[in-house]
Structure 1
Amino acid sequence: MREILIVGGGYAGFYTAWGLEKKLRRGEARVTVVDPRPYMTYQPFLPEVVAGSIEARHAAVSLRRHLHRTRLIAGTVTDIRNAEHTVTVRPADGPDHQLTYDILVVTAGAVTRTLPIPGVGEEAFGLKHVEEAVAIRDRLLTSFDRAAALPHGPERRKLLTVTFVGGGFSGVEGFGELLSLATALVGRYPELGADELQFHLIEARGRILPEVGDRPGEWVVRTLEKRGARVHLNTQLVSAEHGHVVLSSGEEFETGLLVWSAGNASNPVVRNHTDLPVDERGLLTVRADLRVGTETAPVENVWAAGDDASVPDLAVHRPGAHTVPNAQHAVRQGKRLAKNILATLRGRDTRDYVHHSLGVVATLGLGRGIFQYRRLVIKGFPAWLMHRGYHVLAVPTWERKVRVLAVWATAVLYGRDIVSLASVQQPREAFVSHGNPRRGEKSVDATEAKRAGVKRAA
């Protein structure tokens, strides 16, 4: 039995394993997926998790629930040595160990691109995983509670200030959804006014949403500004120490929430810890059929797809063009990858990956969106409906589709859920501070219990 090892359980890795499970014959090959998380994150839903429009768990697809015949290993691949056909795995517990393979699939995905800006490492949240989206939402809700108890002043103003760095799709969608949530929250806090909210979007380039045209991008900026936001174009973040934001334009302000969404970088294991061929961006060199290598020098039995692979884009008919790193490509590359691996196992020819874009669609907050397909541009509520419709169809498995639709239907009747669960990030705090007194001390509960016992005895 041949060993197929998949590094990464994201879009491309999940769909590769899922496709292989459905088509592999008994005893033909064994599939193993290595990933530190037990689920695939459906990242297009993260902005709606931020806004509370989707339950956090519904944006995650359990690997064990849907990959029934795949061996799943919880760990991080730290090194790939194709010359020895081995990868090094670092589990959450225990020592590193090696796995061997006959066929390797690298779908490790990209990581958040960070810059050495003072304060970012200590203050900022990313927006790439479910945990980060939940933390951003809880931070905003907690800030509202704290601000409502404070008088007007610098501390209250800081709590009600939100800053996003990065004007790509994830940044703009997260920014728009959080702005929508904050605007709706003001109505539930009579102590606060809408004019106290300060939302800043910082983008180093002269435009946001590079995937859409110039005019639609300008429309998005105008729409956000009409809703009270500030969009800083051609501006860089210089410092964010202790929440004090300094911009390259010279402007300075305090922020209570800082979100970093300024692009992706290649996965460190692909960029620095492999003997496979990579390009100048640190991405794996991949042929059109998703085999690692070049047309003249393919690497036998090694495949790659997704954000850490430089896949030729045959749909644009432009020499040197590569597919953009988004979910639309990663899902379809995973499906093609499974078919090509099966073809090689059975002595058939592989097929090149070709996908013509279906257009781009983005949510800008509840009831607001934008869609573009070539010259066709749709704005506002219809585009928002298209966004929800497309992604509920695209999220894998009917089980997840039904759960998401149920939450949306409930929100129509009762609105968003605005409960903050920030305390779950320190689940033992109440137990330690109240129920477990230091030696020589008595807890309040223990003292009360003793008094009650004396009264009963009397």
Structure 2
Amino acid sequence: MTNVTAKRILVVGAGHVGLYAALRLTKKLKFREAEVTVVDPQPHMTYQPFLPEASAGNISPRHAVVPLRRALRKAHVIAGEVTRIDHSRKVALVEPIIGPAREVAYDHVIAAPGSVSRTLPIPGLREHAVGFKTIGEAIFLRNHVLERLDVAAATSDPETRKRALTFVFVGGGYAGIEALAEMEDMAHDALKYYPELEPEDMHWVLVEATRRILPEVDPDMGAYTVQVLLRRDMDIRLDTRLESCVDGIVRLSDGDEFAADTIVWTAGVKPSPMLNQTDLPRDGRGRVLCNAKLQVVHEDGSVVDGAWSAGDCSSVPDLTSKTPGATCSPSAQHAVRQAVRLADNIVAVIRDREPKDYKHKHVGSVASLGLHKGVAQVYGIKLKGLPAWFMHRTYHMSRIPSLNRKIRVVVDWTLALILRREVVSLGGLHQPRDSFVDVTPPVEAREQASVEA
């Protein structure tokens, strides 16, 4: 039976902000105080820092995601998509996976749909590139890279082999660097089973529009990362843009042109386009305007009652920055901590207390550069190689929600120490019905021949 006195809290999106906020709300609030509803089209939350390791086979892809219904047993989970938020009436339009859309009323809404890949109108990008933000994209990239090795080993055409073994990653942030390094590491391990191929046959290219990579760390750490990648014979193109990739022909702003079967786009993110269908105030970049308490506010600073936001899709003041108007970066580190503060602030408001400001100084960053290789800058301390790689794993293992997932990830890592990496492609997962359709004859629809006299 519905508790009519309880506040209705609607969480839009179950990413880092949505899941952590819902977890904390269900722990802090009693049933008579609030009912928490979470809406997301996916049945799981993806822990994105583990995507490179899941793609490389270091951990099982299932262990890089957190099942919503298992984690949020005290919340109501709706498998669907919020297509509109009408905050003037405090209702959201929810489209379930199947069936008619319905309105869901609320007293408080957490707008946390997250972000999507920030793409550009580059010819051929939509047809030939893949992103790296979802577990599906990570699994696809792994299978695709291994399939390219099979193609290269089987062909007698040097141009086909060269094209199959050319891998282009666009974007030099953490996502791009980690994906590039982990994929090259995996492919290098796989080559021991391909006597037809040599490591020098592979061409790994990083394209970055600015003059440096890993802007989150000091320039010397970014330079060190470039040196590590160059020692692995990778092709690093700084201050270079992707101009076109029509028909898989990569054209760069430095004038170079070559064919590639693999193009991965990791050049930044932008707020979810779902926010276009809301009446919540937003800034010039499409992010939801927030104050330091994570309350949605109008441009004049007045609070929008009952509306909250955090994470990639929000503009939250960075109280630790000396730069006027600075906002928190779109990182998992901020998102997780903002979710906790946001949940505590909603609890405070429900219990007639004052919410508190979110204030967290970015402590640093860690990145994996493949197995036993990494770079880290935490609290001003700079680490390289094995220590940085160990810190990367330790930090993210501690951050992924639930003891269940922590144990599974540690078991995966432990097995990887004593067993060889799995380098088999399961590309058929992406078109599972093709083989069945090929052997099933078509049947023409027969028209009814009976006619009433």
TM range (shorter): over 0.9
1:269 maps to which of 271, 274, 277 = 274
Q: After the TM superposition, which residues 97-176 of structure 1 pair with which residues of structure 2 at under 5 Å, given as runs?
A: 97-151=102-156, 153-176=158-181
Aligned length: 438
Deviation at 1:439, TM superposition (A): 5.9
Higher mean C-alpha displacement, 175-184 vs 87-96: 87-96
Amino acid corresponding to residue 229 of structure 2 in structure 1: L
Match of 1:447 in 2: none
Does residue 226 in structure 1 map to residue 246 in structure 2? Answer: no
**Is the alpha carbon distance of 1:404 and 1:228 closer, same or farther for their aligned partners in structure 2, counting shifts above 3 Å?**
same
Question: In structure 1, how many angstroms separate the alpha carbons of the residues matched to 2:94 and 2:293?
Answer: 27
Deviations 1:384-419, CA, capped at 9 Å, x for gaps: 011011111111111001001111111111121112
> Per the alignment, in what secondary structure is the counterpart of residue 155 of structure 2?
coil
Q: Show the counterpart of 1:283.
A: 287
Q: Report if the CA contact (8 A) 2:7-2:107 is conserved.
A: yes
Q: Which one of 79, 83, 93 corresponds to residue 74 of structure 1?
A: 79
Q: Is the 8 A contact 1:58 1:400 kept in 2?
A: yes
Aligned equivalent of 1:12, options 17, 38, 47 = 17
Deviation of 1:152 after TM superposition, in Å, equals: 5.0
Structure 2 Cα separation of the partners of residues 322 and 216 of structure 1: 24
Q: 2:264 aligns to what?
A: 259
In the alignment, which residue of structure 2 is the partner of 1:446? Answer: none
Counterpart-to-counterpart distance in 2, 1:239 and 1:191: 31
| Counterpart-to-counterpart distance in 1, 2:429 and 2:31 | 44
Does residue 207 in structure 1 map to residue 212 in structure 2?
Answer: yes
Q: CA deviation at 1:95?
A: 2.9
CA deviations over 1:290-347 (Å, ceiling 9, x no partner): 1111584011111111111111111224321111001111111111111110111011
**Match status 1:236 vs 2:241:** yes
Contact 1:32 1:71 in 2 (8 A): yes
**Alpha-carbon separation, structure 1, partners of 2:317 and 2:442:** 63
Contact 1:80 1:269 in 2 (8 A): no
**426, 429, 447: which is aligned to 1:421?**
426
Structure 1 unaligned blocks of 5 or more = 441-458
Percent pairwise identity: 45
**Superimposed CA distance per residue, residues 118-163 of structure 1 (whole angstroms, 9 cap, x where no aligned partner):** 1110111110000000000000111111211112510011111100
- In the alignment, does 2:342 pair up with 1:337? yes
| Among candidates 59, 64, 84, match of residue 59 of structure 1 | 64
Q: List gaps (5 residues or longer) in structure 2.
A: 1-5, 445-453
Deviations 1:356-398 (A, max 9, x none): 2221100011111000135421111110011011111111111
Query: 1: distance between equivalents of 2:55 and 2:190?
Result: 14
Letter in 2 for 1:422: G
The AA in structure 2 aligned to 1:277 is P
1: CA distance between counterparts of 2:186 and 2:28? 44
Query: Does the aligned pair in 1 maintain the 2:52–2:178 contact within 8 Å?
Result: yes
Are 2:178 and 2:367, in contact at CA under 8 Å, matched by a contact in 1? yes
The separation in 1 between residues aligned to 2:156 and 2:24, in whole angstroms, is 58
Provide the rounded CA distance (Å) in 1 between the counterparts of 2:30 and 2:442: 62
Code of the residue aligned with 2:39 in structure 1: it is V
Which residue of the partner structure matches residue 189 of structure 2?
184
CA distance in 1, matches of 2:196, 2:158: 13
Helix, strand or coil at the partner of 1:205: coil
What is the deviation of 1:438?
4.4
Indicate the SS of the match to 2:416.
Answer: helix
Q: What TM-score comes out, normalization by structure 1 length?
A: 0.93
- CA–CA distance in structure 2, aligned partners of residues 182 and 25 of structure 1: 51
Contact 2:363-2:379 within 8 A present in 1 as well: no
| Alignment-derived partner of residue 308 in structure 2 | 303
User: Hey, what's the Cα distance between the residues in 1 that align with 2:388 and 2:53?
Assistant: 15
Note the C-alpha offset of 1:90.
Answer: 2.4
